[in-house]
Amino acid sequence: MSGTTTRVVIVGQGYVGLPVAMRACEAGHDVVGYDVDERRIKRLGAGESMVEDVTDERLLAALESGRYRPTTSPAGCAGFDVAIVSVPTPLSEGNPDLSYIEGAARTLAAHLTPGATVVLESTTYPGTTEELVGPILEEGSGLTVGTDFHLGYSPERIDPGNREWTFVNTPKIVSGVDPDSLAAVTAFYDTLVDHTVPVSSPREAELAKLLENTFRHVNIALINELAMFANDLGIDVWEAIDAASTKPFGYMRFTPGPGVGGHCLPIDPSYLSWRVRRSLGHTFRFVELANDVNDHMPDYVVRRLVVALNSRGQAVKDRRILLLGLAYKRNTGDARESPSASVARQLLELGADVHAADPHVSDGFLDLAVTRVDATAAEVAAADAVVLLADHDAFDLEVVAANARYVLDTRHRLTGENVEHL
């Protein structure tokens, strides 16, 4: 497929689908960005990106090239050579919600033609591609998977805000339901990325994605729980982490934080746990324990703040608290499942006057009754306490350290007599 122009449909134009659409367009393919969100498509058509890793300039260039067309019309999906499904896969009452995948598959099935390739990128449990997507495509098209059309799975590995590892230079896992499907999926992604990693079936690819995030989730939970115990024992956990990190083998550095956020870590391990429980009748104890620890880290942050204020003769009620960072990680505007939101809500319930600064997260992204401010020296000085939750480069941490009465630093970026760490 290298060196050829294909008609590509990408279902879902959010954090995953839009970067893929831009890259496919830049690689010379004709791209239709399909999404049911009319507001999102209208903004994209006007050259306004909602994804921080895709600049407005890059989006405008794609639109002006004539190779990118955002649409809410299912008819726009007709005639595709390759279709990629990159829709959300949330949890609903602890169970996987695959309704978006099902809807996308039905839409594509109506326009599926012999020789076309469909690739699922949405994170899901092992077996989804073959057990759910394939049958829906067959039923809706009258075609046979592996005979009339190709089907595969290629998990997204986008790390929002990461300038070193991008969509292009991060190795791309690819799979197919049969050898011809694998060849077709590989050939397409070879036009987009530097390196593809073929695996034997979609199940291995689906599990690989869940393994990556479960590994991170469990290790973050380990260090979070260790940090809580170390504080109670009067031990500097950060110094211990720095010391352990000097070992050149057998150790990987993880650091404590206010919890986990984004679409992946709070959700992906639960997909694997659900599949194990449903198929095998076993409990995935590591995942459930990690969920318990990480889900309660915002509670711990609030508890530490309450204790700190009490030690200064202050109740949290009516105190002015400045939260630095509403996003779930540094240098990104992604606030999905952000632990900062949980911290803010708990402080509001306790009667605090909560102010929040985050230059990356736009107003209205989070439904929080907080006062949005800039992290100026005056704003820092006016706060009874400052909580550093996301250490964006845009924050002048020297200004924070110099003007804050008290700082609870959850990222270990500040020093001083007025600073405490997790």
CB atoms < 10 A from the CB of 394, how many?
15
In this structure, of 161-170, 245-254, 317-326, 395-404, the range with the lowest mean pLDDT score is: 161-170
Distance in angstroms (rounded) separating the CA atoms of residues 374 and 322:
10
Q: What is the overall mean pLDDT for the chain?
A: 93
pLDDT for res 107: 98
pLDDT for res 4: 56
Q: Does domain 296-421 have CATH number 3.40.50.720?
A: yes
Is the Cα torsion angle 206, 33, 72, 327 positive or negative in sign?
positive
How far, in Å, are 242, 291, 304, 356, 394 from residue 327 at the CA level?
A: 26, 19, 21, 11, 13
Q: For residue 5, what pLDDT band results from cuts at 50, 70 and 90? A: low
pLDDT for res 282: 87
| In the chain, where the domains are located | 7-199, 209-292, 296-421
For the chain, the farthest-separated pair of C-alpha atoms sits apart, in whole angstroms, at: 73
Q: For residue 2, what pLDDT band results from cuts at 50, 70 and 90? A: very low
Distance in angstroms (rounded) separating the CA atoms of residues 339 and 368:
13
**pTM for the full model?**
0.89
Q: For residue 28, what pLDDT band results from cuts at 50, 70 and 90? A: very high
Distance in angstroms (rounded) separating the CA atoms of residues 80 and 137:
14
In this structure, of 26-40, 87-101, 188-202, the range with the lowest mean pLDDT score is: 87-101
Q: What CATH number should be reported for the domain whose range is 7-199? A: 3.40.50.720
pLDDT for res 364: 67
- CA-wise closest residue to 301 among 411, 223, 379: 411
The arithmetic mean of pLDDT across residues 38-59, rounded, is 94
The arithmetic mean of pLDDT across residues 289-299, rounded, is 93
Helix (H) or strand (E) holding 388: strand 385-388
Q: What percent of the chain has pLDDT over 70?
A: 98
Task: Give residue-wise pLDDT tens across range 123-145.
Answer: 999 999 999 999 999 999 999 99
CATH C-level class of 209-292: mainly alpha
**Secondary-structure breakdown of the chain: helix, strand, coil percentages, each rounded to the nearest 5:** 40, 15, 45
Rounded to 10 degrees, what is the CA torsion of 93, 95, 101, 105? -120
pLDDT for res 337: 86
Determine the 3-state secondary structure of 216 from DSSP.
helix
226-262 b/e (C-beta count within 10 Å ≥ 16 → b): bbbebbeeeeebbeebeeeeeeeeeeeebbbbbbbbb
Fold match between domain 209-292 and domain 296-421? no
Task: Give residue-wise pLDDT tens across range 57-101.
Answer: 999 999 999 999 999 999 999 999 999 999 999 887 778 899 999
pLDDT for res 225: 96
Where do the H-state alpha helices sit in 169-260? 179-189, 202-233, 237-244
Enzyme catalytic residues: 264
Burial status of residue 330 (CB atoms within 10 A of its CB: 0-12, 13-18, 19 or more): middle
Distance in angstroms (rounded) separating the CA atoms of residues 210 and 122:
11
pLDDT for res 365: 67
Give me 162's structure tokens: 């990461």
pLDDT for residue 368 is more than 90: no
Q: Are 110 and 65 in contact (CB under 8 A)?
A: no
